[in-house]
Amino acid sequence: MPRLTSPAPLADDLDLSLDLIARAHAVPVPDDETALKLLTDEELRPGLEAVIADRTGGDELWVFAYGSLMWRPEFDFAESRLGTVRGFHRRFCLLQRRFRGTPDKPGFVLALDRGGLCRGVAFRLMGTDLHQILMPVWRREMRGMGYVARWLPVATEGGTVPALTFLVNRASDRYSGRLTDAEIADRIAAACGHLGPSAEYLFRTVEACAALGIRDRHLWSLQKLVAERLRARIGLTADPA
């Protein structure tokens, strides 16, 4: 499991921390390549070509980030803006049986599901070869068949831009439907894969949102609930001495 290091403190009302996560998930988890089928670049290429063909909006190329792309972009970018997508909301609704979970204890990653709105970051990408520029992020988001890609209007202070956005694939067996925050927190707190705990993904996203001034009720509720469960986990497994 990657070493966890603590960043600068966040807002006072955030309960989750990397130290708590590391203490609750101290045992590394080996990778299981059979846990999730991943598409090859050859299998991914037709979908990328199709989405590029559907692109409108001039010469600029934008990608909308609302989860891990906010804190670990898969591309070089020339500009970033806070932006809002309407008609979809950010939610932990995509099961993760590999990377940050296992088949027995799947974690969650974020996706955009129907209804509401989502504040995130619109990145303007650099370069002219669209296939070459987009393949790294396309591979990252689409190889597990959990997302569908759409060009959505993103409202920013500099105007509305069409951005490539990854929505939940409701036809995927990874789609969880609408569970309660308590049910989601149970799974996030328990899950860990070879890339680390599911709770770290949650923490990093909350950290990024806090730094950007984005307050998301779903995320803030979950980080509190997950922290409570991790503390209980430590209390049950800690040496009484």
Residue 97: φ, ψ to 5°: -95, 0
79 a catalytic residue? no
Considering only CA atoms, which of 153, 48, 168, 158 is closest in space to residue 96? Answer: 168
Active-site hit among 33, 141, 200, 207: 141
Q: Which residues contact 54 (CB under 8 A, 6 or more apart)?
A: 151
Cα 84 to Cα 41, 56, 62, 63, 121, distances in angstroms: 31, 19, 13, 12, 8
Residue 122: φ, ψ to 5°: -95, 120
Note the Cα 113 to chain centre separation in Å. 13
What's the rounded Cα separation, in Å, for the pair 63 and 44? 18
What's the rounded Cα separation, in Å, for the pair 45 and 51? 10
Tokens of 100: 């940050």
Give the burial class of 233: count Cβ atoms within 10 A of its Cβ; 0-12 exposed, 13-18 middle, 19 or more buried. middle
Cα 166 to Cα 56, 64, 90, 152, 220, distances in angstroms: 17, 8, 11, 10, 22
Active site amino acids:
141
